[in-house]
A and B are shown apart, each in its own frame.
Chain A
């Protein structure tokens, strides 16, 4: 099975940089996803890593180390609208994804 850990809450200041970590233990690995979820809404796709290294997409970057079972999501130039829950999800060989419980990020002025 899969076990995914991420911090419950984080707070950061508008314009700053924040890093949200995710560690996982898995019996089969075929990629790690990050999703953003605003309160009361569905998750929206942010990034996908299957190989080690950094994937950059605008203000958001995601890093993966398969040997360490570790990923992080880096958010730069934080905006108030970035206040949301950020979900880490690991996919197994069959295509099924297991989600962490999410990190609630609060961006303050």
Chain B
């Protein structure tokens, strides 16, 4: 399978704990996006990488959230001191090597987080 993969698929944690999610994009894609989606809403943009550079970060993202893409391949999203409001589906998407505005984003299966 050469699509976008995400791990873990599900995560249950207690409030106050830290969690880390991983995304492996399609191998030839250089752009990688993180989104958050709650029930009944569309995906909400969190952050975006081109290669290893983090180009944009949503103002909705608090300081508890951090993302990295150290080698321009896989990416990690960490949430520190989780809160119940962080419970959501976290989606990763990647797109190819053309101009960003010309590209289709392909989504991974998501990581569903539940904070108790």
Where the two chains meet, the residues of A that have a C-beta atom closer than 8 Å to any C-beta of B are: 4, 30-31, 33, 35, 41-45, 48, 87, 89, 91-102
Interface string of B14-49 (1 = CB under 8 A from A): 000000000000000001010100001111110010
**Residues of B near any A CB (own CB < 8 A):** 31, 33, 35, 40-45, 48, 55-56, 91, 95, 99-110
Task: Tell me if A99 and B91 are in contact (CB < 8 A).
Answer: no
Determine the chain B residues whose CB is within 8 A of the CB of A41 once the complex forms. 109-110
CB <8 Å contact, B42 and A44:
no
Using Cβ atoms and an 8 Å threshold, which residues of chain A touch B35? 99
Chain B residues near A31: list those with CB within 8 A.
101-102
Number of A-B contacts (CB under 8 A): 58
Assuming A45-B106, A95-B103, A99-B44, what are 6 further A-B pairs, CB within 8 angstroms? A43-B107, A87-B43, A89-B42, A94-B55, A96-B33, A102-B40
- Among the listed A42, A95, A96, A102, which residue makes an inter-chain contact with B107, where contact means beta carbons less than 8 Å apart? A42
Whether A93 contacts B110 by the Cβ 8 Å rule is no
Question: Could you tell me the distance in whole angstroms from the C-beta of B25 to the nearest C-beta in chain A?
Answer: 13
CB of B110 within 8 A of CB of A48, answer no
Rounded to whole angstroms, the CA-CA distance of A94 and B33 in the bound complex is: 13
Q: How far is the CB of B73 from chain A (nearest CB, A)?
A: 19
Nearest A residue to B105, CB-CB: A97
Residues on A with beta carbons closer than 8 Å to the beta carbon of B31: 95
Report A-chain residues with C-beta under 8 Å of the C-beta of B108: 42
Contact check, A99 vs B42: say whether CB atoms are below 8 A apart. yes
